[in-house]
Every structure is written in structure tokens, then in C-alpha cells.
A = this chain, B = another copy of it.
Amino acid sequence: MKLFVIKIGGNIIDDEKQLSWFLNDFSSISENKMLVHGGGKIATELSKQLGIEPKMVEGRRITDADTLKIVQMVYGGLINKNIVAQLQARNCNAIGLSGADGNIVLAHKRAPVDLTPNPSPTGEGRKNKVDYGFVGDIEKVNSEKLSALFTSGFSPIIAPLTHDGKGQMLNTNADTMASAISVAMSQQFDTTLIYCFEKSGVLRNMDDENSVIEKINLKEYEKLKTEGVISKGMIPKLDNAFDAIKQGVKSVVICHAKELNKLIKGQDSGTRLV
């Protein structure tokens, strides 16, 4: 059986028109489908309004208790339910979930990472230990429970939140969630993972939307990475995408959100990972 796992980025969510077009296309998919959505600007704006400064340590964003509350509210409550309501209006029986709901994505709190170059074995000089706070690294995706939702006619809409099984919600990267869920589902489904965002695909030249790399394999990716052709922001996305390929997902594509329509019809668009 076919399954589409589609990730949608924050820039699309922030743009009412683009989101609306995207949801039209998503709801038109007749096969099993699932959406993983990111955050967008709203969480940052709400933090500012509440006077919560983004906490950065060694250039990395920390999810402290206040920030977790914000993302739980904005991703799990505001964005997730707005998308669900809009899909219901398009006759798509969407069901909005976090990783805690139905225990679909279990994670553990990320252990503090030591960024000290060559720390002594006694732990001296470990000044750069970074505690990311309430960030969840995925342990297990409960593919059986997700399948049961398909059987009941639901299309899961998943917010980038997980839980640790001990009562704690955690913040997890949406690209990573889409990848891990696709891997788990590909045991049972012929799974296509599509990363939809605001660019036409992986670009050879960041400033030229016509420079899309149509196909890319792991070797080429590593080469382009060392050459500096593939830029910083794309690296985690492509790492997640290649993780999915390595672990058995049949088809992974990175494309512009407005091109989803073509891909679900079996046409090509954006960058296909091979």
C-alpha cells in the first residue's frame, strides 16, 4: 500500500495563501497520507511578546521550560488545530497529533553535549557542555498505532513534539520527525517522503531558483558539501532525507510546496534523492 509522508516548513505555514494551496493539494491525495508540520514565526513572535529571550549557548538554541510551553502551545494548539480545521473544510479527515498522542513518537531528552575540544579525562576544562533543555531525540515510532489511524480513515497531522514516556513533553525537529516516521512506516507501506518548502529544491546556486539539482545521491551530496555548494541550512534537511533513504524509504523528494500537486500525480519536480 502507498503512503505519502509530507513535511511542510514554517515559511509556508506563515503564508496564508501558500498554505491554502498546499492544503488543497494535500487533501487531494487519495492514498494514505500524513503531514508533519514545522513551526514558523509565530512561536518566536509569541516569545517576544511574553519577554522570553531566546536562549543560545555556543550558538545553539536551548529549549528551556518557558520555550517548551511556547512551542507546545503554538505547534500543538494553534498551528496544528488550524491546519486540521482547514483540512476538514476540504473533506480530509485530519487528526492532529503530537508524538505523545497514541504514544506515536517516543523520545528521550537529549544528553548534554560536550563541545570542548579534547577535554581531559577527569572532566577538567569541560566548560562548554551544552544542555539543550527539553529537546527530544527520537527513540521509537509506533507504526502500528499510526496504521490503525489510517484504517479508521484518518490522516494524521503531526506537530514537532514528542514525549519521553515519563510524563515530559519534548521539542523535536520536524524534518527529523518526518524522516523517522517515514522509516518506520516503510516497513509496511510503499512510502514516499516529500519535504515541501519555499525553494524549488536543492539548488546549485542559492540565489538561482533555476539551478535545481534534479537527482542527487549520497556521494554527490558529500562532494557538494565539502565544496561548499550546499549551504548550512540545507545540510540538516539533507542529512535527515538521506537517513530516510539509507533506512529503506523508497522515494525522498525535496521541492517547493506549490509543486506537491505534480509529485502526487507521479510527475517529477524538485530534487529527488537516489
Contacts and interface: CB of A to CB of B under 8 A. Distances in A.
B88 A95 contact: no
Contact of A95 (B49, B72, B97, B153): B97
Contact of A149 (B73, B74, B152, B161): B152
Interface stretch (A77-85, A194-202, A257-265): A77-85
A163 interface: yes
A232 interface: no
Contacts of A93: 102-103, 145
A1 interface: no
Contacts of A82: 72, 169
A154 interface: yes
A166 interface: yes
Contact of A152 (B50, B76, B101, B148): B148
Contacts of A164: 85
Contacts of A151: 152
B98 A84 contact: yes
Nearest to A161: B81
Nearest to A23: B167
A94 interface: yes
A30 interface: no
Contacts of A97: 95-96, 101
Contacts of A98: 81, 84, 96
A53 to B, nearest CB: 15
Contact of A100 (B49, B81, B100, B166): B81
A83 to B, nearest CB: 9
A86 interface: yes
A149 B101 CA distance: 12
A168 interface: yes
B88 A77 contact: no
Interface string A168-193: 11000000000000000000000000
Contact of A78 (B49, B73, B81): B73
A21 to B, nearest CB: 14
Contacts of A26: none
A85 B62 CA distance: 21
A206 to B, nearest CB: 34
A146 to B, nearest CB: 10
22 contacts: A72-B77, A72-B78, A73-B73, A73-B74, A73-B77, A75-B77, A76-B80, A76-B81, A77-B80, A84-B98, A84-B163, A85-B164, A86-B167, A93-B103, A93-B145, A94-B102, A95-B101, A95-B102, A96-B100, A96-B101, A102-B152, A145-B154
